[in-house]
Amino acid sequence: MDALILMVVCGVGYLVAYHTYGRFLARKIFKLRADAPVPSQELQDGIDYVPTRKGIIFGHHYTSIAGTGPIVGPAIGIIWGWLPAILWVTVGCIFMGAVHDLGTLVVSLRNEGKSISEIAARYINKRVRLILFFVVFLALLIVIAIFGLVIAVVFKAFPSSLAPVWLQIPIAMVLGYAIYKKSANVFLSTAIAVALMYITIWLGSKTNFVMSEILGIPPTGVWTIIILIYGWVASTLPVTMLLQPRDYINAWQLFIIMGMLAVGVAASSIKGNLEIIAPAVNLSPAGAPSLWPFLFVTIACGAISGFHSLVASGTSPKQISKEPDAQFVGYGSMLLEGLLAVLVILCVGAGITMGVKALDGKTILTGADAWNRYYSSWMGERGLEDNVAPVVSGAANMMVTFGLPESIGITLMGVFIASFAGTTLDTAVRIQRYIIGELTTDLKMPALSNRWTATTIAVGTAAALAFINGASGAGAKTLWPLFGIANQLLAALALLIVTMYLRQKGGIKFIITAIPALIMLTIAVYSMVIKERDFIANFRKDWLLVVIGSVLFVLALWVAVETVIVFFTVRRSDRPEVKV
């Protein structure tokens, strides 16, 4: 299969889907109206609820949902073959992931920007709200704790990314100040900020700072502490001061890198240097679990992710200035994430075949030898550095084709991965703060619901998990094997809530989300059963995974049963919408 043709077909497919199925959802299913009230206008506070331009909120939303998921997931999932991986990140993205993201965003928009946990109480019942609170809190706890370590690992693997990542912060804050306080021209300010960001990347390629051990704490532990402190600060500041502008300029970084990768694919294909050497289908790769259902759990964010529902019912609905923007922000950003996953598949399925270093660090492998360097056996249990290595190598190879030095290409990819992990982390901390605030408000505990206390709880619990096994900050690895399944369970539950919302509206519109919900629930439950069997077989080592996995399994089924009961017993008029 020609890589260029595959990229063009997928790209055109996403574009057509946005203007057909996406428009159908926006106009016929959710009936988005420009004159409808939105939380950012009605509850504007200058901190969390801030009406925002469509392009800026798109950047924030996209970088918040992307993280490392659409990079690592497809890079691992391609081991079952490029064809099933491509089919899932296109078909799954268009008809499930983007529907999930748009649906949760619209429902939150029409319910004061509340989280899916709070919304569940309105469309199902209060018991489900508490169940979802536990599931969401656990998922965010793992994300916050593990992403501190992820960024630390990236800094170790790509030390040249360190300076650019941290220098993005003052650049973003100046951008936010210029736009919101001085009414500066958005286009010109963006161009200057992005140019400065790329200057820092060039400077970073000339430096290689390595963190040392401090007070007996290893470098990964030190970075985890620093990053969690940053997350606390970012979560408590007004959204326009740091979170939103940083995400926005990172989005431009992504657009430029995706453009470079697309040019690299085209240039390499034209020169005849790019061949997809990965097998089209590989049902039994060495050491890997079965394709069904683990391909769908492994690729995750590249096609559908429950974490997206937290952003779509967290920071984003509090900033959208009018309802029709939800199609661009919710549906459009998921399609762009799918395209990123496609480019990653091409990097690892074809780009690495142009040449990678063997294990001896000297010999250059090409073709099938380069593919087997990474994919001769299952890489899902390896560390992040091993997971992203084929992506970085393949991307650098393709960008060299049009004259970009390899050192710059590697720095670009390192900054890209670390930056997106950072934007996901600070958004996750803020969302966890919202979740804690909503719950404590419902429980009449106002002392715990203010943004400083709630953020401290969010960061403190993540720090406790990160350092539970020692000073390395790697404690979240204990629960990480559950995250992929928990993430897809959350996607299924979010789709169930959107289904109940559409059911309340009458007619058969709910089928649009009910079918994806059932598919995702089947995938997640079946995956959980298989993994629990493996955990039980190693009970002495994995007893915590057994316990938490069992609890998640029972809670997910509980939510599904409660939803089915309400679905067939509650009439349309019984649950009026809070805000329309």
Give the pLDDT confidence score for residue 75 in this predicted structure: 92
Give the pLDDT confidence score for residue 115 in this predicted structure: 93
Class at the top of the CATH hierarchy for domain 3-574: mainly alpha
Average pLDDT (361-382) is 85
Kindly write down the DSSP assignment for every residue of 239-266, as one continuous string.
TTTTHHHHHHHHHHHHHHHHHHHHHHHH
Which sign does the torsion angle of CA 334, 511, 515, 307 carry? positive
**pLDDT tier at 308, thresholds 50, 70, 90:** very high
Angle at 441 between CA 438 and CA 447, to 5 degrees: 115
pLDDT of 510 > 90? The answer is yes
- Quick check: 219 and 472 in contact, CB under 8 A? no
Percent of the chain exceeding pLDDT 70 equals 98
Kindly write down the DSSP assignment for every residue of 157-215, as one continuous string.
H-GGGHHHHHHHHHHHHHHHHHHHTS---HHHHHHHHHHHHHHHHHHHTT----PPPBT
**pLDDT tier at 574, thresholds 50, 70, 90:** very low
Closest CA to 123 of 307, 555, 114, 331: 114
Question: Cα(2)–Cα(8) distance, rounded to whole angstroms?
Answer: 10
**pLDDT tier at 570, thresholds 50, 70, 90:** low
Instruction: For residue 219, say if its preceding peptide bond is cis, omega within 30 degrees of 0.
Output: no
pLDDT of 576 > 60? The answer is no
Where do the domains of the chain lie? Answer: 3-574
Output the average pLDDT for the chain.
90
**pTM of the predicted model, to two decimals?**
0.92
Percent of the chain exceeding pLDDT 90 equals 56
Phi and psi of 213, rounded to 5°?
Answer: -70, 140
Give the pLDDT confidence score for residue 575 in this predicted structure: 46
Consecutive H or E run containing 488: helix 480-505
Consecutive H or E run containing 288: none
